[in-house]
Amino acid sequence: MIQAVMVISTQGKPRLLKFYNFQPPEKHQELVRGVFQLLSARPENVSNFVEADAIFGPGAKLVYKHLATLYFVFIFDSSENELAMLDLVQVFVETLDRCFKNVCELDIVFNFNKLHTILDEMILGGQVIETSSEQIVKSVEEIARLEKQSSTASIIPKSISDRFSR
């Protein structure tokens, strides 16, 4: 099971935190700090797989990708395959690139809801539900279209909408 997904800047600022098992909110900053300290101390030429027992408890592992000014981190338990998780990180990054045309830290900061929508299309309750970047993008676009449609419909006063429905 996936325990958490984090996107952390190279300055240690959390840009996305999604926990799939309960973590008290006051513990979030401690977990981010622990993950950041672990990753920022690692040399560039080592593997992207790390034992995370000290931070998340027995059997916890994390896999990450360091791209530009961001760390994309997936924390998971022993029931998940490490290579599959690394591939999932890649799918997440590719999907973000497709949605934002070469994603950067500002895209993540200013499009927080879209980021969560993308992640929710990939992972539900700590279980992977979709691994096709193309399918995720289609779903996100459909959700955005429906949200726009419903917000437009709610803006039109009832008296005007009654005229057009006749």
114 within domain boundaries: yes
166 within domain boundaries: no
pTM of the model: 0.84
Look at strands 61-67 and 49-51 and give their pairing.
Answer: antiparallel
162 within domain boundaries: no
Residue 36 belongs to domain spanning = 2-155
Angle at 79 between CA 56 and CA 96, to 5 degrees: 75
94 within domain boundaries: yes
Position 152, amino acid: T
Record the tokens describing residue 104, joined without a space.
């950067």
125 within domain boundaries: yes
pLDDT digits (tens, 9 = 90+) for 122-160: 999 999 999 999 999 999 999 989 988 887 765 555 555
102 within domain boundaries: yes
pLDDT digits (tens, 9 = 90+) for 7-30: 999 999 999 999 998 888 888 999
Asked whether the beta carbons of 53 and 39 are under 8 A apart, the reply is: no
Point out which residues pair with 124 in neighbouring strands. 127
Task: For residue 73, count other CB atoms closer than 10 A to its CB.
Answer: 26
70 within domain boundaries: yes
Helix or strand run (H / E) with residue 19: strand 14-19
DSSP assignment string, 35-46: HHHHHHTS-TTS
pLDDT digits (tens, 9 = 90+) for 81-135: 999 999 999 999 999 999 888 788 888 889 888 999 999 999 999 999 999 999 9
86: domain CATH number is 3.30.450.60
Interatomic CA distance for residues 16 and 72, integer angstroms = 9
Task: Give the chain's domain count.
Answer: 1
